[in-house]
Structures are given as C-alpha cells and as structure tokens.
Amino acid sequence: MRRSLAVQLLLAAAVALTFAGCKKQVKVVKPQYDRQLPPGQYALRKITDPAMIPDITFACYETLDLRRSIDNSLRYLNKTSSKKYFPCGDITHERSVASLQTLAKLLDQGLAGRPLAAAIKEQFDFYQSVGCDDMGTVLFTGYYTPIFNGSMTPTAVYRYPLYKQPQDLVKGEDGAILGRKMPDGTFTQYPARRELQQSGQLKGTELIYLSDPFEVYIAHVQGSAKIRMADGSLVTVGYTANNGHEYKSIGQELINDGVLPKDGLSLQRMIDYFKANPNMVDHYIYRNPRFVFFQMDSSDPRGSLNEPVTPMRTIATDKSIYPRGCVALLKTNLPRPVGMEISKRPYTGFALDQDTGGAIRAPGRCDVYMGSGDQAGKMAGQVYEEGKLYYIFVKPELMTSAAVSGVVEPLPQSQNPAY
C-alpha cells in the first residue's frame, strides 16, 4: 500500500528519533588493560597464517642500538639463574639464546632494510601477545630516567630523601619481596608508603636528597634517576627493592577526583599541578602504598634483569608471563623528536624485554623506555597508545649448535658497530 509523502516523512522522522535515542544509550566499554590471563593460557600465541605476520620493513631500517641491546640480553641469559624462568610457554632457554644469537649474526653481516626483513621472516617464527582481550590489544606507555638536582647531605633546599633498602627488608633469590624479617625468622608485610614516611623508621637509611617531594615520587615511579650535584657531576641511583605493596596510579586518582582531565593527562600536567598545589602532594602520593628503595649505580640505569636499559630498545612487561630478555616487536604510535618538536607517529621497531614495573601487569600492558632527561620525559608522558606486541624466535630446526650447548658469545665491544 502506497503511503502519502507526509506519512512517509513522519515515519522516517520517527525512525530517526528512535535510532538517535538508541545511539545515546550505547555505552562505550573501556578495555580492561590489566585483565589477567585465564588459567592455563599463555601470553604468546604462535602465528601460523603468514598473512598475519606484520610488515617489519621499517623496523629493519631502524636498527640503531639494537645490536648493543641484544648483547645486554645475552649477558643476562648467560647467567645460570636465568634458566629457572624457562620454559616460558613453549619457549625454552636454549631457543631464546639461539634467537638472540641468530639476529645478532644477521646484523653483523650488515643486513638492513628489506634483505634483513626477508631473512628474519625466513628464519624466525612470529608470536603475538594475546593482549587484554585475546585479540592482541596491548596498551603501550612510556617511562624514562629523570635528571634532578640533589645533594648527598641534607640542606635547607635539599631535604627530601631517597632511601636505601633497610636491612630488615628481605628479597628472595628471584627479587620477590618477602617482607620484614621478624625475630623468629618469619616474614610480615612491610609497611605502606604513608607509615614509612610518617613514622621515621627509615631514619639512617637516607641515600641522597632532592629539593621537591614530587621529584622523589617521580624517581619512585620511574625506578631510577640521575642526580646533578653542585659541582655539575651526575650520579645515578637505581632501583634495588620495594615494600611489596601493589602500585596504584595517582594519575588515575587525580582523574577520579576531577582534578585533572582524562584527555591529555601527562606527567608534565601532574608536575604543574603539584607545583601549584604543593600541599596536595602527600594527599595523593599516600594513595599509592608502594614505596621504592634505591642504590648508587656507577653505570647507566638498569632494568629488572640488572642489565642496562636502552632508549627505544628496552621494554618492561610482566615477567611472570613474558620471556625475559627476548626479542620483541612493537607496532603502535610513539612520540619521536622532529627538530625542536616532538611528533607522535606510527612506529614499528624491535626491542628487548629487559625490565618490569609496578603498574606493568598482565598481557595487555607494555612500557617503553624513552631515555634520560627532560625530552625523554616529555616523550614518555605522551605515550598512552594501543597497539600490537610480537616476539620472534628462531625456527627450532635452525638453532645453532653453540646456542643449544648454552655457549653465549656477545660480540666484543670494539667490533660492535652499534657502539
């Protein structure tokens, strides 16, 4: 039956309003990036369809410092203690070593760009992280090593300390925090941040002093810092232990309280807020019960494998589910310096899984080390991007006899083109 034009228009309007009303009711579900793996599931899934292997051409042109970072991982895997963390899924310690050695050999042969990409695809199997949703979605964030002014002794300006690990705080062989050792030999959980700072029980364990309490907190979150002395020299302090409490993001707390907007939240905005509101520093940092202890480090900042971290080549993941020291491939958007500006753009690059972090838990999280100083801090503060995370392992039939026997030979520094 043919309807009049007026009726048709009325019906169309009603349908439009109906769909408009439905549209308003659609609720956007935020990805649960910290979703834990279901029992029995592995974080990595082997790619069996060649069409699912990512394009690695760009990564094979951008190989600066990759060889050096591989050597850092090889040095870690050469330690007998590293073997107890394998197998990781179906990835053995021997295969991990062989994978690093094989990639190092390809780089030493001078391969780059498309020839390197072709060789990797021919010799390596690709594995993809299941991510937070079993579809490969991973949230990438950034971290860095800040540079602050400081003093080895307290002054009127430098009066906020970083602390050494107390003698009664005990770690296991694998670095896990056992807690405070009691007189009877048992352990109890170490106090949370508020109690540690307000009770005075850390007196005598001061390591170095900074001028700003939020700078102290930044060092806690980043896990290391370089401190500039009055004579201009730099000393490095690095993570040695924590109090065993779970990390809680104060950035998220500031968002929840409506103090800072979710869109555009960055470390710099937090710094600006606390500089304008110094009386609020303790109010918020006490909401994060985790407290970090430091030690002097004569070398560059190190990750949780006790090996140096390398800008853009070191990532931090959950070490309980990802293989330590192995070769990863990142596919996401990352900020990079362009002249005097910082520009965020698509990025595909190789990195080594050499670190971990208090907030980096579950397969849906990955932290990228951006370097040291203010520029690195600005870049790290801009990283909050979804992407894909892959790992590459040499095909079992191509494993070298040297790798199978456990012989690890990092390239001598004088011969390494990356040095």
Q: Could you list the pLDDT tens digit for every one of the 419 residues in the chain?
A: 433 434 343 444 444 444 445 555 556 677 899 999 999 899 999 999 999 999 999 999 999 999 999 999 999 999 999 999 999 988 999 999 999 999 999 999 999 999 999 999 999 999 999 999 999 999 999 999 999 999 999 999 999 999 999 999 999 877 789 999 999 989 999 999 999 999 999 999 999 999 999 999 999 999 999 999 999 999 999 999 999 999 999 999 999 999 998 877 788 889 999 999 999 999 999 999 999 999 998 778 999 999 999 999 999 999 999 999 999 999 999 999 888 888 999 999 999 999 998 788 899 999 999 999 999 999 998 899 999 999 999 999 998 654 444 444 555 443 333 32
Q: Are residues 258 and 370 in the same domain?
A: no
Task: State which H helix or E strand residue 419 sits in.
Answer: none
Q: Are residues 333 and 243 in the same domain?
A: no
Q: How far is CA 394 from CA 125, 222, 325, in A?
A: 6, 33, 14
Q: Are residues 134 and 151 in the same domain?
A: no
Q: Are residues 384 and 263 in the same domain?
A: no
Cα 419 from chain centroid (whole Å): 24
In single-letter form, the type of residue at position 294 comes to F
Cross-strand partners of 297:
236
Q: Are residues 112 and 161 in the same domain?
A: no
Identify the domain boundary among 278, 297, 316.
297
- Evaluate whether residue 87 is within a structural domain: yes
Identify the domain boundary among 251, 268, 297.
297
Cross-strand partners of 157:
none
The two three-digit tokens of residue 221, written as one number: 């979150």
- Evaluate whether residue 250 is within a structural domain: yes
* Residue 97 belongs to domain with CATH number: 2.40.40.10
CA 386 – CA 138 distance, rounded (Å): 5
- Evaluate whether residue 26 is within a structural domain: no
- Evaluate whether residue 22 is within a structural domain: no
- Evaluate whether residue 67 is within a structural domain: yes
Identify the domain boundary among 297, 320, 347.
297
Q: Are residues 164 and 269 in the same domain?
A: yes
Residue 91 lies in domain? 44-143+304-415
Q: How far is CA 347 from CA 26, 59, 304, 388, in A?
A: 32, 8, 25, 11
Q: Are residues 154 and 281 in the same domain?
A: yes
* Residue 211 belongs to domain with CATH number: 2.40.240.50
Number of structural domains (the chain) is 2
Buried b (16+ CB within 10 A) or exposed e, 49-74: eeeebbebeebbebbeebbbbbbbbb
Q: Are residues 228 and 97 in the same domain?
A: no
- Evaluate whether residue 211 is within a structural domain: yes
Q: Are residues 122 and 226 in the same domain?
A: no
- Evaluate whether residue 180 is within a structural domain: yes
Q: Provide the H-helix boundaries in 26-159.
A: 57-61, 66-77, 93-108, 113-123
- Evaluate whether residue 153 is within a structural domain: yes
Q: Are residues 394 and 356 in the same domain?
A: yes
Handedness of CA 221, 347, 130, 176 (dihedral sign): negative
Q: Are residues 368 and 408 in the same domain?
A: yes
Q: Are residues 256 and 206 in the same domain?
A: yes
